[in-house]
Structure 1
């Protein structure tokens, strides 16, 4: 077989031409610093085609923290004259908006801020509050409620935990007995009367109310919450038990406001109660 060579063919030159064609097909390169270049073959000069009117680079960061101390520490590290705090009770969030708009005392007012850098405290109910809140407002079988009181008696401030354990055990002892009647005592407590098969009656005294000493929000100090005892005669001679919060919603709102106000004091930033869109 005779090998035929095309006169004037240059394989190296063909490869260079292919590389140049690839560069020309996709010549634009964007750098991590925000600048843009176009890459062309060596014989062609490199030109800076960056948009001279582009916006300056800025921080894009939204951090979520679990306690007020972290919120204040982060805000103090990155705050400026334009930073503010917005506290939204409905969402249970307190957010330091670090690159908010220029205020009307600054030379650049009314220049808008980017609002792209923020640290937000997402408040969560404490474990103790969640347990009690799950039971609140419902009537439970007496044995179930008695066990709950005994297991969580450490959260009770008044009456003493030992008294609450005694009440819970008294109720457990009357599970198979028949509820007969109730008597309201002079101090507002109730005495529930039960009767066994031998017609022997015994009573269980339940307080009109009791108080808890637990934190409402995770990471916060405990406070006193008031609970009102509730009971109801059920079918078959049984009694259902439960409790209701007494003005706890006001305490939740007040404590939320206190956290936001404390964050404002720790950072020196103005706080606004509400939400933004």
Structure 2
């Protein structure tokens, strides 16, 4: 049989006076338990916000660069109670770090609140955003030419590799603009890996204009803001529809490029903090 609760003097007094009566308190935690009419439920009131200083550290901060994240973790975290988590999905283009300043330690008898956290997601460079946003996105001749012209400085031609230079890509782009009002006739694959496109004027089927299109080219761009540049290979594609050409490019294995760029940041954070480092999700609400 369940034992009956015997009301103490404070509870009895509260019921008789029908006014709030403090039942118990914890001075160290700044907590009070008060009986409130008319339902006489027991309510806990937290007055810790009125203290001269918090009883413990609590914060959620978002840092803009790796150095700030490292400095914050070292300033507030200890080597035993602070952990760093890396959640990376390179295919989806996601890389993020979470520093839990007051995480559980190795001692099973010492639990922690895990509510002092620092977040950091490396910021992608403008060049990376521009090229990846157009990945596999069809463009008209004019749109493709304008995109190449606007981002011409990103075209890379590594030594010893037969890839078009920026000047060659610009010439091709200008040719696209010149033939935008012409009708596509044929495409012939060349021995050097390119494609020769033929166009005709609608009013003169005998007038041909030929233009070489490169199937492959490369760009050299930083993945992250203020970071090192990486070579990214690209395939040039086209489709004919109603006598008009649509162009697009496919960036080759951007997930591996992102993984390489992230490895540098991961190594820097691990070496400069020295905190326990985990790959995964901390599942902190």
TM tier, shorter chain?
A: 0.7 to 0.9
- 1:178 maps to which residue? 183
List per-residue Cα deviations over 1:39-97 (Å, max 9, x = no partner).
Answer: xxxxxxxxxxx9xxxxx921111111111111111112122022121011245311121
- 1:134 maps to which residue? 133
CA distance 1:203–1:32, change in 2 (3 Å): farther
CA distance 1:199–1:63, change in 2 (3 Å): same
Question: Any residues of structure 2 matched to 1:106-121 within 5 Å, and which?
Answer: 108-121=107-120
- Conserved 8 A contact 2:66-2:122: no
1:241 to 236, 243, 247: 247
- 1:122 maps to which residue? 121
Does the alignment pair 1:101 with 2:107?
Answer: no
1:259 to 255, 265, 271: 265
Question: Any residues of structure 2 matched to 1:31-50 within 5 Å, and which?
Answer: 34=30
- Conserved 8 A contact 2:98-2:282: no
2:256 to 243, 250, 254: 250
- Conserved 8 A contact 2:182-2:200: yes
CA RMSD of superposed structures (Å) = 2.9
List per-residue Cα deviations over 1:103-125 (Å, max 9, x = no partner).
Answer: 2xxxx434122211122112333
2:61 to 44, 59, 63: 63
Q: Indicate the SS of the match to 1:89.
A: strand
Structure 2 CA distance for aligned equivalents of residues 204 and 67 of structure 1: 45
- 2:196 maps to which residue? 191
Q: Indicate the SS of the match to 2:68.
A: helix
Structure 2: which 5+ runs fail to align?
Answer: 1-19, 35-45, 47-53, 158-163
CA distance 1:25–1:145, change in 2 (3 Å): same
List per-residue Cα deviations over 1:149-204 (Å, max 9, x = no partner).
Answer: 11111111133322221111011111111211112122211111112226222221
- Rg: which structure is higher? 1
Comparing both structures, which one devotes a greater share of its residues to strand? 2
CA distance 1:185–1:100, change in 2 (3 Å): same
Structure 1 CA distance for aligned equivalents of residues 28 and 214 of structure 2: 68
2:72 to 51, 71, 74: 74
Structure 2 CA distance for aligned equivalents of residues 171 and 232 of structure 1: 14
TM-score by length of 1: 0.75
- 1:167 maps to which residue? 172
Structure 2 CA distance for aligned equivalents of residues 112 and 58 of structure 1: 14
Structure 1: which 5+ runs fail to align?
Answer: 1-23, 39-49, 51-55
Structure 2 CA distance for aligned equivalents of residues 31 and 125 of structure 1: 49
Structure 1 CA distance for aligned equivalents of residues 199 and 27 of structure 2: 82
